[in-house]
Amino acid sequence: MGSPQMTREQDLSVRELLVNTFEEVRRITGSPEVELPKPVYSEIANDSDHHRMREGFMEYKTVCFFANFKGKHWLFARGESYGDYPARPFDSDLIAIPIGTAVSLAVTLECIVTEIARGAYFHNTLVCGLTNGQLTARSSSRFLGEPIRSSLARFVEFVSQRLEVDRDIFLASTLNRLTIKAARYRKELVPILAQAILHTLSC
C-alpha cells in the first residue's frame, strides 16, 4: 500500500517557504523585525517603451539586521512581487545587503531605500521564488558563487509537489508555459534553507 498523500497543511507554497525561512533566520539570530515607514522597491523587470511604462518590482515592507553576525553586519529582508506584468513570473525573494560596521538604526533606515534600490535585478537576492513555485538563484546575484546556490540542487528531495505545466499553452505576457500545479515543499526544508543562508552570509 502506498504512502498517504501529503496535505496542504503539511507542505508549503514557495511564498510560505520564504516567509517561514525569514522568520527562522530571525529566530536564530535574535534579530527584531523593523517595519519600514513606507514600502521600498527594487526593480526586477521592465518592458517599457516610448508609449507606455510596464515595470515590475520587489516590494519590501520590513527588514531585520544581524548585529555583528560572524564579524559582518547584514540587512536582511523578504520581498514580494509588485507592479505590472513583467513582475508576474516572480513571487518573492530573500535579500541580504552588507552594511559595514554597526550604525544607529536611524542612520541605517535613511540608507535602506537607496541600498535596496541599488540592488535592482536581484543583485542582493539570496534565493527567489517564482510564481510557478520553483526556487531559484538568480544569475545576477552577488551570491551566485556562494553556498546558497550549491545548496539548491539538494533541495529537490524536499519537493512535495512537482511543477506541472501545460506544454501546449504559453502565456502571452510572460512567454512561460501555463502552470497547472505549482511546486510545493515539505516544511522540513525551512531550517535547512535558513542554515544555508546563514552559512552563505558568514563566508
Residue 84, all three cell numbers: 505590472
Half-sphere exposure of 75 (CA within 13 A, CB side): 29
Cell 543583485, located at residue: 123
Tell me: pLDDT of 1 over 50.
Answer: no
Residue 18, all three cell numbers: 520564504
Taking the CB of residue 91, how many other CB atoms lie within 10 A of it?
23
**Cα distance between residue 185 and residue 188, in whole Å:** 8
Residue 164: helix, strand or coil by DSSP? strand
**Cα distance between residue 106 and residue 71, in whole Å:** 21
Could you report the per-residue pLDDT of 132-180, keeping only the tens digit for each? Answer: 999 998 889 999 877 787 888 889 999 999 999 787 776 666 667 777 8
Could you report the per-residue pLDDT of 93-138, keeping only the tens digit for each? Answer: 999 998 866 555 665 777 888 889 899 999 999 999 999 999 998 8
Could you report the per-residue pLDDT of 178-191, keeping only the tens digit for each? Answer: 778 999 999 999 99
Residue 2, all three cell numbers: 502506498
Torsions phi, psi for 115 (to 5 deg): -70, -40
- Mean of the pLDDT values across residues 63-81? 83
Query: Structural domain boundaries of the chain?
Result: 11-159+186-201
Secondary structure (DSSP) of 111-122? HHHHHHHHTTTT
Question: Whole-model pTM above 0.85?
Answer: yes
Contact by Cβ (8 Å): 65, 121: no
Q: What is the DSSP letter of 158?
A: G
Q: Rounded to whole angstroms, what are the CA distances from 182 to 13, 38, 98, 132?
A: 8, 31, 33, 5
Instruction: Give pLDDT, residue 2.
Output: 43
